[in-house]
């Protein structure tokens, strides 16, 4: 991420934890019937085990993706990096950056997250987006 000797990281954060809500709900919708099927007994136990495993896989994937996604502000650019085996990033140079916008829903304001729109780069679910904007300055 840091590409020159004088470039320094000003801020590095994960996306807000609210991105995990939808996958957790999906996993719960799989796990509850799975647990009930296991409780019923054979032959529903097999279906129950499959549903429980699918719910666990949904949660594991969501948490892994959340953990491996970072929003990084350096002295030269704003970057979002994600991925494990195939690392991908999108960046915008601060020197070429025009106006930066924060979009926040009511829920976003209550929970402390928002979307940063910086030129062509749009980063959703950024925790405390005003703090990131404040650090953009010199």
Q: Quick one: 105 and 128 in the same domain?
A: yes
> What are the tens digits of pLDDT across the range 95-106?
888 888 999 999
Q: Quick one: 83 and 42 in the same domain?
A: no
Q: Quick one: 101 and 61 in the same domain?
A: no
94: number of Cβ within 10 Å: 18
Residue 100 lies in a domain: yes
> What are the tens digits of pLDDT across the range 5-60?
788 888 999 999 999 999 999 999 999 999 999 999 999 999 999 999 999 999 99
E strand segments, the chain: 9-13, 70-74, 77-82, 88-93, 100-103, 113-118, 121-127
Q: Quick one: 98 and 132 in the same domain?
A: yes
Q: Quick one: 31 and 82 in the same domain?
A: no
Residue 133: name the closest of 120, 117, 121 by CA: 117
Structure tokens at 115: 């979307």
> What are the tens digits of pLDDT across the range 109-132?
999 999 999 888 899 999 999 998
pTM score above 0.85: no
- The span from the CA of 40 to the CA of 113, in Å, is 42
Q: Quick one: 100 and 54 in the same domain?
A: no
Structure tokens at 116: 């940063």
**Domain residue limits at 45:** 20-65
The domain total for the chain is: 2
């Amino acid at each position: 991420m840091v590409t020159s000797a004088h470039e320094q990281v000003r801020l590095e954060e994960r996306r807000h934890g609210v991105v995990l809500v939808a996958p957790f709900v999906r996993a719960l919708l799989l796990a509850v019937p799975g647990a009930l099927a296991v409780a019923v007994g054979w032959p529903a136990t097999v279906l129950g085990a499959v549903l429980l495993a699918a719910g666990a896989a949904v949660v594991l994937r969501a948490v892994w993706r959340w953990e491996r996604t970072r929003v990084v502000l350096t002295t030269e650019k704003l970057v979002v990096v994600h991925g494990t085996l195939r690392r991908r990033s999108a960046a915008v140079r601060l020197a070429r950056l025009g106006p930066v916008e924060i979009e926040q829903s009511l829920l976003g304001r209550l929970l402390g997250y928002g979307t940063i729109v910086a030129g062509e780069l749009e980063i959703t679910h950024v925790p405390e987006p005003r703090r990131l904007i404040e650090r953009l300055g010199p």
